Amino acid sequence: MGRFDSFSDFLAMGGYASYVWSAYAFFVVILVFNIWQPVLARKKFLKQQLRREQVQRERMQARQKQEGRINDNAS
Amino acid sequence: MWQWLFKLSSPKWFYTISGQLMPWLIAITSILLVIGLVWGLAFTPPDYQMGENYRIAYIHVPAASIAMGCYYMMAGMAAAFLIWRIKMADMVAKACAPVGMTFTALALFTGSVWGIPTWGTWWIWDARLTSTLIMLFLFIGVMALRSAYDSEAAGAKACAVLSLVGVVNVPIIKYSVEWWNTLHQGASSLSLSNTSANPPEIWLPAFFVGFGLFGFYLIAIILRTRNEILIRERRTEWVDELLSTNFGNNISTNEGLG
């Protein structure tokens, strides 16, 4: 492993393992958070928008059906 | 140049261009980060005083400088919004606050962890650390301020003013190590401003991580800005079209009209 003799040597970080790896772990958390949060927000927005569209469509169809019925009665 | 800026201030144009840029940005960022991190973690020689612990600096230094850059960006966007009323600028400024907050938190956390074995303490109220903590609070404050307003426009204006007032803190962070006698050391050889103190094999990995993290920063800002564009422009024709062609199953809204 590069400058280290073995992989376990690499993990040990010359006795600084807890410091080095906790810093890098937090780094990964920050990276994941900054992608995950906006991606989740986008999904939520799209779902909301599609649902709204569907409701609108159903309403329009219901109205058309009703208008059709009124026309039938009139004739 | 002006025309380009003018175009960039159009949400639709920004959305389209950023969507096309994204795959490239992700590819370049991943390559830079992987090279920089593997190199910095496993291949650079240990420091003669700090041993392997100095490897934390490969993320600490870029995170801190990008956090400061993020504040400048937020303040610049705030100014553009206040002066020219560019709505796009406010959307980017809104994206800057949470991203800047996480980068500042990362800089503070990695610095503290590094400080435990090196300084013998994880925190001290010296000028560098204190002013960076203030920047963290400013980012949080800007976010809280925006959410406190019901009106989008009023919140945007208040945030822009707070962002501009707080910008005075950023040069204080940068020059604190020169102006005052701080426990925090001066610009290290891992920052862009001082590369003479160490050989390239030490500072080159930091450049890879630095540019990679900058790419990541841009990705994070763009993702949030694109969401904001969709939300604010949801009633416009182009967003409606975009949603129905890409994700929608509205086979036709005028079904039954014919």
Cβ-Cβ contacts under 8 Å, B230 against chain A = 42, 45
Are A27 and B110 a contacting pair at CB < 8 A?
Answer: yes
Average pLDDT over residues A49-73: 84
Give chain B's largest Cα–Cα span.
81
Q: Return the pLDDT at A22.
A: 95
- Would you say B225 and B14 are in contact if contact means Cβ atoms under 8 Å apart? yes
- Would you say B250 and A53 are in contact if contact means Cβ atoms under 8 Å apart? yes
Best CA proximity match to B67, nearest among A30, A71, A54, A20: A30
Produce one character per residue of B115-152: b if its CB has 16 or more CB atoms within 10 Å, e if not. Answer: bbebeeeeeeeebbbbbbebbbebbbbbbebbeeeeee
Best CA proximity match to B114, nearest among A27, A10, A60, A32: A27
pTM here is: 0.88
Q: At what angle do helices B57-84 and A17-74 cross, to 10 degrees?
A: 40
Is B51's Cβ below 8 Å from some Cβ in A? yes
Best CA proximity match to B65, nearest among B168, B247, B248, B193: B193
- Would you say B192 and B65 are in contact if contact means Cβ atoms under 8 Å apart? yes
pLDDT mean values, one per 10 residues, chain B (258 residues): 73 92 96 94 83 89 95 96 93 97 97 92 92 97 95 94 95 88 76 67 88 97 96 89 71 40
Evaluate whether ipTM surpasses 0.85: yes
- Residue A13 pLDDT greater than 80, yes or no: yes
Q: Return the pLDDT at B160.
A: 96
Average pLDDT over residues A34-58: 91
Of A2, A20, A57, the CB nearest to B53: A20
- Residue A28 pLDDT greater than 50, yes or no: yes
Q: How far apart are the first and last CA of chain A?
A: 87
**B20-26 LR contacts (CB < 8 Å, sep 24+):** B21/B222, B22/B219, B22/B222, B25/B215, B25/B218, B25/B219, B25/B222, B26/B219
Is A66's Cβ below 8 Å from some Cβ in B? no
Q: How far is CA B25 from CA B4, B29, B31, B210, in A?
A: 20, 6, 10, 14
Is B223's Cβ below 8 Å from some Cβ in A? yes
Q: How far is CA B35 from CA B52, B106, B149, in A?
A: 18, 20, 44
Best CA proximity match to B97, nearest among B60, B131, B138: B138
Q: Return the pLDDT at B243.
A: 83
Classify B252 in phi/psi space as left (phi over 0), alpha (psi -120 to 50) or beta. beta
